[in-house]
Structures are given as structure tokens and as C-alpha cells.
Amino acid sequence: MERIREQGTVETVAQSGLERINAIRRVVDNKQYAKIDGQMADLFTCSAIVQVYDALNDSNKVKFCSMPYTKMAHVAFNLINQKEKDHGKDYDKNR
């Protein structure tokens, strides 16, 4: 369910994971924050979520979509940070 608030902010209460991902993609595409599941969603966070979602396989996409927005953000940042740490270790070994 989606509505536009008085201030012009789009507010989405997702009934399914696919609706939530589409709302997050809309934030990235429009470069405009929105309210998703009662939480303000900024471009940086939504971009991280979309980046992780696109990298997942189909079975993990279903699990990721079923999470609430705040949990998606937490998992996305943890995965990105873990990837950066792993990449840095590989780089240091080659030196």
C-alpha cells in the first residue's frame, strides 16, 4: 500500500517482500528518500540493499525479501563490510 504524505514523501507499507524491494528500488531510481514500513529510507541505505539483493541467488532473495526494512539494511551493511574486509585480506597477502 502506498500513499503520498502532505510533505510529498512517499510512504509504503509493504504487503509482500516484492513490494518492499520495489519501493526500495524506487528510492534509488528517483534519488528521493521515502518512508518504508514506518522507517525513513535514504538513498545510501537503499542503494546498499539493492546491491546486496541483486547479488543473491533466488532462494536467498526470497529470504531477504521476507525481512523487514530495518533488518534488510542491517544484513546488507554487514555483508558489504564483510566483503570489504575479505577483499582487504586478499590484497594484503599479495603484497
> pLDDT (tens digit, 0 to 9) for every residue of the chain, 95 residues total?
666 665 556 777 777 888 999 999 999 999 988 888 889 999 999 999 999 999 999 999 999 999 999 999 999 999 999 877 776 665 555 55
Rounded CA gap, 4 and 75, in Å? 28
Q: What phi and psi values does residue 38 have, to the nearest 5 degrees?
A: 85, 0
Count of alpha carbons within 13 angstroms of residue 68, beta-carbon side: 8
Task: List the helix and strand counts (H, then E) for the chain.
Answer: 4, 4
Number of domains in the chain: 1
Q: Which residue has the cell 544484513?
A: 75
CB 35 within 8 A of CB 41: yes
User: Whole domain around residue 82: which residue ranges?
Assistant: 2-93
